[in-house]
Amino acid sequence: MGDHPHHDDEHDRPLSGPALRAKALESLLTEKGLVDARALDELIDTYETKIGPRNGARIVARAWTDPAYKARLLADATAAIAEFGFIGRQGEDMVVLENTPKVRNVVVCTLCSCYPWPVLGLPPVWYKSAPYRARAVIDPRGVLKELGSEPAPDVEVRVWDSTAELRYLVLPERPAGTEGWSEEQLAEIVTRDAMIGVAQVRR
């Protein structure tokens, strides 16, 4: 490892470091009969094409347009999210946090990278990286300011550190000027970052 020549062109670069180790490990596990390469393909395809933040956006849009659904979502998020069929790994026990004009919720996992897979898919690099995990708890206002959504001084910021097996989804505020929009139109404007709590939804 680390002995390979360094090429400028990414595509010409021979496998080195983790890429080489991952390939060697896959061959070993396949030859031992411990993994099946087609199952690996299926796992990857699921998170690349089927499970992602569009799921969460549908939940948010429904909550914005259906008060009874919103009440169920806030009372028992796991059951209300399961109404859409969004269940499973890393979303077994869900909690939804409602933003209001006076409260902003921000979700982090300081110890690793816990994230609600069934509704948001796999976490982005920034969520898993040291700057966010270090700063979200000590300086949430600084992080939100840098990311362009600084809360006013009288807005309460609540940071949720996902240290157990509860998984959190932020219900962002519905932006003004979207009265009369359909659920599908609303789902279009809901972003992943708004459902983590580091952005607000804009029309």
Partner 1 sequence: MNGAHDLGGMHGFGPVEIEKNEPVFHSRWEARTFALNLASGFHGKWNIDMGRYAREQMPAADYLATTYYEHWLFGLEKLLVDQGLVSAKELQASRPEAKADAARAMHVADVAPFLRNRRAARLDVEVPPRFKAGEPVVTRNLHPVGHTRLPRYARGRHGVIHRDHGVFIFADTHAMSRDRKPQHCYSVRFGARELWGPGAAACDSVFVDLWDDHLDPA
Give the per-residue contact string, 62-81, with partner 1 (x = CB under 8 A; - = no): --------------------
Q: Is 113 a catalytic residue?
A: yes
Give the per-residue contact string, 128-167, with partner 1 (x = CB under 8 A; - = no): xxxxxxxxxxx-xx-x--xx-----xxxxxxxxxxxxxx-
Distance between CA atoms of 192 and 198, rounded to whole angstroms? Answer: 9
Q: What angle in degrees, to the nearest 10, is found between the helix axes of 67-75 and 53-65?
A: 120
129 phi and psi, to 5 degrees?
-90, 160
Locate the DSSP E strands across the chain. Answer: 93-98, 103-108, 156-161, 166-171
Q: What type of residue is 13?
A: R
Residues binding partner 1: number (CB under 8 A): 78
Q: Does 26 bind partner 1 (CB under 8 A)?
A: yes
Q: Is 109 a catalytic residue?
A: yes
- C-beta closer to partner 1: residue 139 or 184: 139
Q: Which of 91, 49, 97 is nearest to 73 (CA)?
A: 97
Q: Does 43 bind partner 1 (CB under 8 A)?
A: yes
Q: Which listed residue (112, 184, 185, 202) binds partner 1 by CB under 8 A? A: 112
Q: Which listed residue (4, 7, 14, 21) binds partner 1 by CB under 8 A? A: 21
Catalytic residue (choose from 27, 112, 129, 182): 112
H helix count then E strand count, the chain: 11, 4
Q: Is 112 a catalytic residue?
A: yes
CB of 179 to partner 1, least distance (A): 30
Q: Are 162 and 196 in contact (CB under 8 A)?
A: no
- C-beta closer to partner 1: residue 42 or 66: 42
Tell me the sheet residues that pair with 144: none
Q: Is 149 a catalytic residue?
A: no
Q: Does 25 bind partner 1 (CB under 8 A)?
A: yes
- C-beta closer to partner 1: residue 98 or 122: 122
75 phi and psi, to 5 degrees?
-80, -40
Q: Does 171 bind partner 1 (CB under 8 A)?
A: no
CA dihedral 108, 109, 112, 118 (to 10 degrees): -80
CB of 67 to partner 1, least distance (A): 23
Active site residues: 109, 112-114
